[in-house]
A and B are shown apart, each in its own frame.
Chain A
Amino acid sequence: MSEFIRQHLIDPEICIRCYTCEETCPIDAITHNDDNVVVDASICNYCMDCISPCPTGSIDHWRVVRTAWSLEEQYEWDDLPEQEEFAEDSASELAEAFDDAANALIAEAHSGAGGRTPAPISAAQASVNLFGRSSPGIGTVQGNYRVTEAESESDVRHIIIGLGQTSFPVLEGQTVGVAPPGVKADGKANDIRLYSISSSRDGEKRNGNNISLTVKRETQGLCSNYLCDLVAGDQVELVGPFGNTFLMPNDPNANILMICTGTGSAPFRGFTERRRRAMPGANGEFVLYFGARTPGELPYAKQLGKLPATLLTQNLVYSREENQAQEYVQDRIQQHESFIQKMLMDENTHVFICGVKGMEKGVDEALTEICEHNSVDWQSQKASMRDAGRFHVETY
Chain B
Amino acid sequence: MNELAISYDTSIPNNVGLSDDRRLLKALQKWHPNYLSWWQSMGPEGFQDSMVYLRTAVGVDPKGWAKFDYVRMPDYRWGILLAPRDENRTIPFGNHLGEPVWQDIPGEYRSMLRRLVVIQGDTEPASVEQQRFLGATAPSLYDLRNLFQVNVEEARHLWAMVYLLQKYFGRDGREESEDLLVRRSGDEDKPRMLGAFNESTPDWLSFFMFTYFTDRDGKMQLESLAQSGFDPLARTTRFMLTEEAHHMFVGESGVSRVIQRTCEAMNAAGISDPNDIENIRALGVVDLPTLQKKANLHYALSLDLFGSEISTNAANAFSAGIKGRYHETKIDDDHRLLDSTYPVLKMVDGKPTLVDEPALTAINMRLRDDYTADADKGLGRWNKVIKKLGVEFSFTLPNVAFHRAIGEFANIQASPAGTIIDEATWVANYDKWLPSSDDNLFITSLMKPCHEVGQYANWIAAPKVPINSQPGDFEFVRIAA
Interface pick from A11-19, A94-102, A134-142: A11-19
Contacts of B472 in A (CB 8 A): 185
Interface pick from B167-175, B198-206, B463-471: B463-471
Interface pick from B27-35, B94-102, B124-132, B240-248: B240-248
Cross-chain contact A16 with B465 (CB below 8 angstroms): no
**A57 on the B face (CB < 8 A):** yes
**A232 on the B face (CB < 8 A):** no
Contacts of A78 in B (CB 8 A): 384, 388
Assembly CA distance A239 to B149 (angstroms):
36
Which of A16, A184, A357 meets B252, CB within 8 Å?
A16
Cross-chain contact A52 with B467 (CB below 8 angstroms): no
Digit string of B397-424 for contact with A (CB within 8 Å is 1, else 0)? 0000000000000000000000000000
Assembly CA distance A16 to B378 (angstroms):
7
Contacts of A184 in B (CB 8 A): 469, 471
Contacts of B64 in A (CB 8 A): 357
Cross-chain contact A18 with B471 (CB below 8 angstroms): no
**B249 on the A face (CB < 8 A):** yes
Cross-chain contact A56 with B66 (CB below 8 angstroms): no
Supposing A16-B378, A17-B377 touch, asked if A361 and B2 sit within 8 A by C-beta, the answer is: yes
Contacts of B70 in A (CB 8 A): 219-220
CB B376 to nearest CB in A, in angstroms, measures 11
**B12 on the A face (CB < 8 A):** no
Q: Which residue of B lies closest to A55 (CB)?
A: B246
**B224 on the A face (CB < 8 A):** no
Supposing A16-B248, A20-B242, A219-B69 touch, asked if A52 and B469 sit within 8 A by C-beta, the answer is: no
Interchain Cβ contacts under 8 Å between A and B, 8 examples: A13-B384, A18-B249, A52-B63, A53-B62, A57-B466, A78-B388, A358-B58, A358-B59
Which of B2, B5, B465, B471 meets A222, CB within 8 Å?
B471
Contacts of A13 in B (CB 8 A): 384, 464
CB B151 to nearest CB in A, in angstroms, measures 15
**B474 on the A face (CB < 8 A):** yes
**A92 on the B face (CB < 8 A):** no
**A369 on the B face (CB < 8 A):** no
CB B4 to nearest CB in A, in angstroms, measures 9
Q: Which residue of A lies closest to B251 (CB)?
A: A16
A residues at B contact (CB < 8 Å): 11, 13-14, 16-18, 20, 24, 34, 48-53, 55-58, 60, 78, 108, 184-186, 191, 219-220, 222, 357-358, 361
Assembly CA distance A145 to B435 (angstroms):
62
Supposing A57-B466, A219-B70 touch, asked if A49 and B62 sit within 8 A by C-beta, the answer is: yes
Supposing A185-B466, A358-B58 touch, asked if A52 and B66 sit within 8 A by C-beta, the answer is: yes
Cross-chain contact A16 with B471 (CB below 8 angstroms): no
Contacts of A185 in B (CB 8 A): 463-466, 469-472
Supposing A52-B62, A358-B58 touch, asked if A14 and B465 sit within 8 A by C-beta, the answer is: yes
Cross-chain contact B253 with A16 (CB below 8 angstroms): yes
Digit string of B363-388 for contact with A (CB within 8 Å is 1, else 0)? 00000000000000110010010001
Contacts of B63 in A (CB 8 A): 48-49, 52, 108, 357
Q: Which residue of B lies closest to A24 (CB)?
A: B62
Cross-chain contact A18 with B2 (CB below 8 angstroms): no
CB B9 to nearest CB in A, in angstroms, measures 11
Cross-chain contact B248 with A53 (CB below 8 angstroms): no
Contacts of A58 in B (CB 8 A): 465
Assembly CA distance A325 to B466 (angstroms):
42
Contacts of A16 in B (CB 8 A): 245, 248-249, 252-253, 378, 381
Assembly CA distance A50 to B475 (angstroms):
26
**B53 on the A face (CB < 8 A):** yes
**B65 on the A face (CB < 8 A):** yes
Assembly CA distance A49 to B249 (angstroms):
19
Contacts of B475 in A (CB 8 A): 220
Cross-chain contact A220 with B62 (CB below 8 angstroms): no
Contacts of A20 in B (CB 8 A): 241-242, 245
15 further contact pairs, Cβ within 8 A, besides A52-B66, A57-B463: A14-B253, A18-B248, A18-B249, A48-B63, A52-B63, A55-B245, A55-B248, A57-B468, A108-B63, A185-B465, A185-B466, A186-B464, A220-B470, A220-B474, A361-B2
Contacts of A17 in B (CB 8 A): 377-378
Assembly CA distance A357 to B6 (angstroms):
12
Contacts of B388 in A (CB 8 A): 78
Cross-chain contact B245 with A18 (CB below 8 angstroms): yes
Cross-chain contact B253 with A191 (CB below 8 angstroms): no
Contacts of B465 in A (CB 8 A): 11, 14, 56-58, 185-186
Assembly CA distance A220 to B477 (angstroms):
12
Q: Which residue of B lies closest to A57 (CB)?
A: B465
CB A21 to nearest CB in B, in angstroms, measures 9
Which of B5, B65, B463 meets A52, CB within 8 Å?
B65
Q: Which residue of A lies closest to B244 (CB)?
A: A18
Contacts of A24 in B (CB 8 A): 62
CB A31 to nearest CB in B, in angstroms, measures 12
Assembly CA distance A78 to B464 (angstroms):
15
Greatest chain A CB density within 10 A among B64, B377, B464, B475 is at B464
Contacts of B66 in A (CB 8 A): 52-53
Q: Which residue of A lies closest to B64 (CB)?
A: A357
Assembly CA distance A49 to B4 (angstroms):
14
Assembly CA distance A51 to B378 (angstroms):
22
CB B112 to nearest CB in A, in angstroms, measures 27
CB B77 to nearest CB in A, in angstroms, measures 14
Digit string of B32-62 for contact with A (CB within 8 Å is 1, else 0)? 0000000000000000000001000011001
Assembly CA distance A186 to B65 (angstroms):
25
Greatest chain A CB density within 10 A among B5, B62, B70 is at B62
Sorted nearest first, the 3 A-B pairs with minimum C-beta distance are A57-B465, A55-B246, A18-B245
Which of A53, A108, A219 meets B242, CB within 8 Å?
A53
Assembly CA distance A24 to B242 (angstroms):
10
CB B334 to nearest CB in A, in angstroms, measures 25
Contacts of B377 in A (CB 8 A): 17, 34
Contacts of B59 in A (CB 8 A): 358
Assembly CA distance A124 to B473 (angstroms):
45
Q: Which residue of A lies closest to B388 (CB)?
A: A78
Q: Which residue of A lies closest to B385 (CB)?
A: A13
Q: Which residue of A lies closest to B83 (CB)?
A: A23
